[in-house]
Amino acid sequence: MTPFGARLRALRSARGMTLKDLAAQLQVSSAYLSALEHGRRGAPSIGLVHQVCDLLGLIWNQAEELAGLARLSHPRVTVDTAGLTPEQTALANRLAQTIRRLPPETVAALHALLDATTPQPKPRLRRAARRAE
C-alpha cells in the first residue's frame, strides 16, 4: 500500500463511503481506485488528487498533505546512483534488498534521520514578501 492509498482509504472509510461510491463520484473505475489504494498503480495525477480533495471537502493543510502523499506514492522506485560514491550506491542497493524486512521502528528512524538531514524549503510567503520589498 502506498502513503496516498492508505490515506485515501482512511478518508473514504471515515466518511462511510464505499470504494464503488467514491469511484462513481470521481468518474473512475472501482478497479482503478482499488489499485490506487493497494499500491498496484502509480501515483495519481494531480487532477485526480484535486478531485478527491474537492469531493471529500479537504482544504488547506489536509489537501496539501494528500498532494504530498501522492508525490511519495510511486510503488516502483528507481534510484539513479550514477555519479554517486560507492558507499551511496551500496546503500541504495542494500535498502532495495532489505526494505521488506525492516521493522516499522527502523523505517520510522530512517525517516527521522532523513528529515533531520534534509534542508527544509522556506515558506512561500516569506519569499513572496521579500520580492515585494
User: Which residues span the domain enclosing 106?
Assistant: 86-132
Whether residue 14 is found in the same domain as residue 64: yes
Q: Residue 90: which residues within 8 A CB-CB, separation 6 or more?
A: none
Whether residue 39 is found in the same domain as residue 11: yes
Give the cell for residue 63.
Answer: 489537501
- Please check whether residue 81 lies inside any domain of the structure: no
Cα–Cα distances (Å) from 101 to 25, 109, 131, 132, in that order, read 38, 15, 48, 51
Whether residue 11 is found in the same domain as residue 56: yes
CB atoms within 10 A of CB 124: 8
Whether residue 107 is found in the same domain as residue 63: no
Whether residue 10 is found in the same domain as residue 67: yes
Mean pLDDT of the chain: 89
- Please check whether residue 79 lies inside any domain of the structure: no
pLDDT of 127 above 80: no
Question: Which of 41, 71, 101 marks a domain boundary?
Answer: 71
Whether residue 54 is found in the same domain as residue 20: yes
Whether residue 65 is found in the same domain as residue 117: no
Query: What is the number of structural domains in the chain?
Result: 2
Cβ-contact 66, 52 below 8 angstroms: yes
In the chain, the N- to C-terminal Cα span, in Å, equals: 46
Whether residue 21 is found in the same domain as residue 59: yes
Tens-digit pLDDT profile for residues 40-71 = 998 899 999 999 999 999 988 999 999 999 99
pLDDT, position 125: 56
Q: Is the pTM of the predicted complex or chain greater than 0.75?
A: no
Cβ-contact 4, 66 below 8 angstroms: yes
**Residue 99: pLDDT band by 50, 70, 90 thresholds?**
very high
Whether residue 14 is found in the same domain as residue 66: yes
Cβ-contact 41, 51 below 8 angstroms: no
Whether residue 7 is found in the same domain as residue 67: yes
- CATH code of the domain covering residue 67: 1.10.260.40
Tell me the one-letter amino acid at 50.
Answer: H
CA distance 105 to 84: 28
Residue with cell 515558506: 123
